């Protein structure tokens, strides 16, 4: 390496000298250190391995959700909120981009593909042109509803031909009957569930959903059981023939300390309701009600094997219904068999903590 040095040229002058200094070993050592530092840094495939692992676990969780143990109803809990697991994807993607990790970015393809396979169809409007032969609606009106008359007026304004109500209290029953009488000349109430119709009803009976079990349940008088009844079956006379309609309000689910996600009564009711549906002689059926669960939940396999969701078949979006102030799950369902849904939607909020749901069907 060449350096230019100033040298003393004696009195009155400055000399310039050219000197050659060997700095090669120093430079080589610095270059070697820089190379070692670069080699020690993780490359784009090695960075973000934790993020890549989390992405793969997320994808496997959604893909294999049916294999998750149902001890403590863990499987039901995961399946209830399964669509929301997709929110982890943009979070992990942001982390992958921040870390500039190719491995994490590539691993995210798995949860994205699984989520789109499970729920991608719900992102589009699947309603069909041509209108409907019959419009049905269902609403859990909430036992603590402070304005049942207002709720009834809102529901009547929906112009549904058949309207199912759940969680009817003895105090609110006459209010609903009075407010809906003009729009719906036919109605039936069995315990806490009822059906209002513009068309004649027949062959109405309560459905035993195994609400009362064990010695205490067996000892209950029939009139007491009927008061607490949570499901009914009736026939609606349409110009296309009879339509079997079921209305149900299955047991609630709870998160209990030490027990986890408690679904015992809901699951028992769902199994009994599925047995009633399986025994139904009319191939044209509609099930309306608050089932306290999403159709991804394994507890409803007996129902979904025979009935299909109007929302999933002909709806627009997820159609979440609960809680009404910020819906995060669709637990209010319209399921059909032998008829074709043409549209499905959630109605505006009422005084209830649930949103009403409606669907158009055709023969």
Rounded average pLDDT over 159-174: 97
End-to-end CA distance of the chain: 93
User: With 70 as the cut, is the pLDDT of residue 79 above it?
Assistant: yes
> How, if at all, do strands 241-249 and 201-206 pair?
unpaired
pLDDT per position as a tens digit, 257-271: 666 788 999 999 999
Task: Please tell me the predicted confidence (pLDDT) of residue 128.
Answer: 84
* pLDDT bracket for residue 7 (50, 70, 90): very low
pTM of the model: 0.83
pLDDT per position as a tens digit, 23-44: 566 687 776 667 656 655 566 6
Helix (H) or strand (E) holding 173: helix 173-180
Rounded average pLDDT over 185-194: 98
In whole angstroms, what is the distance from residue 24 CA to residue 298 CA? 73
Rounded average pLDDT over 309-313: 96
Nearest residue to 273 (alpha-carbon basis) of 251, 254, 294, 297? 251
Helix (H) or strand (E) holding 31: helix 24-40
In whole angstroms, what is the distance from residue 354 CA to residue 327 CA? 8
* pLDDT bracket for residue 46 (50, 70, 90): confident
Task: Please tell me the predicted confidence (pLDDT) of residue 2.
Answer: 47
Average pLDDT, the chain: 89
């Amino acid at each position: 390496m060449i350096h230019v040095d100033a040298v003393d040229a004696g009195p009155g002058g400055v000399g310039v000298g050219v000197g050659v200094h060997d700095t090669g070993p120093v430079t080589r050592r610095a270059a070697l250190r820089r190379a070692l530092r670069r080699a020690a840094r993780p490359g784009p495939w090695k960075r973000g391995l934790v993020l890549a692992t989390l992405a793969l676990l997320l994808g496997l969780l959604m893909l294999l959700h049916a294999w998750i143990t149902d001890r403590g109803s863990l499987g039901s809990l995961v399946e209830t909120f399964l669509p929301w697991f997709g929110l982890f994807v943009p979070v992990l993607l942001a982390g992958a981009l921040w870390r500039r990790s190719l491995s994490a970015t590539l691993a995210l393809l798995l949860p994205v593909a699984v989520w789109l396979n499970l729920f991608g169809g719900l992102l589009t409007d699947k309603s069909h042109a041509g209108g409907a032969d019959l419009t049905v609606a269902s609403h859990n009106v909430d036992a603590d509803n402070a304005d049942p008359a207002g709720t009834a007026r809102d529901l009547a304004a929906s112009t549904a031909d058949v309207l199912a109500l759940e969680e009817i209290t003895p105090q609110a029953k006459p209010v609903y009957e009075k407010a809906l009488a003009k729009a719906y000349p036919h109605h039936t109430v069995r315990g806490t569930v009822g059906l209002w119709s513009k068309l004649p009803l027949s062959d109405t009976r309560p459905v035993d959903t195994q609400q009362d079990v064990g010695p205490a349940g067996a000892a209950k008088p029939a009139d007491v059981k009927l008061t607490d009844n949570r499901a009914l079956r009736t026939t609606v006379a349409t110009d296309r023939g009879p339509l079997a309609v079921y209305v149900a309000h299955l047991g609630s689910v709870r998160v209990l300390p030490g027990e986890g996600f408690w679904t015992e009564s809901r699951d028992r009711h769902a199994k009994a309701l599925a047995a009633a549906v399986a025994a139904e002689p009319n191939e044209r059926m509609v099930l309306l009600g608050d089932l306290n669960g999403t159709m991804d939940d394994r507890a409803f396999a007996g129902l979904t094997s025979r009935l299909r969701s109007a929302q999933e078949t002909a709806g627009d979006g997820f159609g979440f219904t609960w809680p009404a102030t910020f819906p995060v799950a669709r637990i209010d369902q319209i399921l059909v068999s032998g008829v074709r849904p043409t549209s499905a939607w959630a109605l505006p909020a009422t005084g209830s903590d649930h949103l009403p749901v409606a669907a158009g069907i055709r023969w």
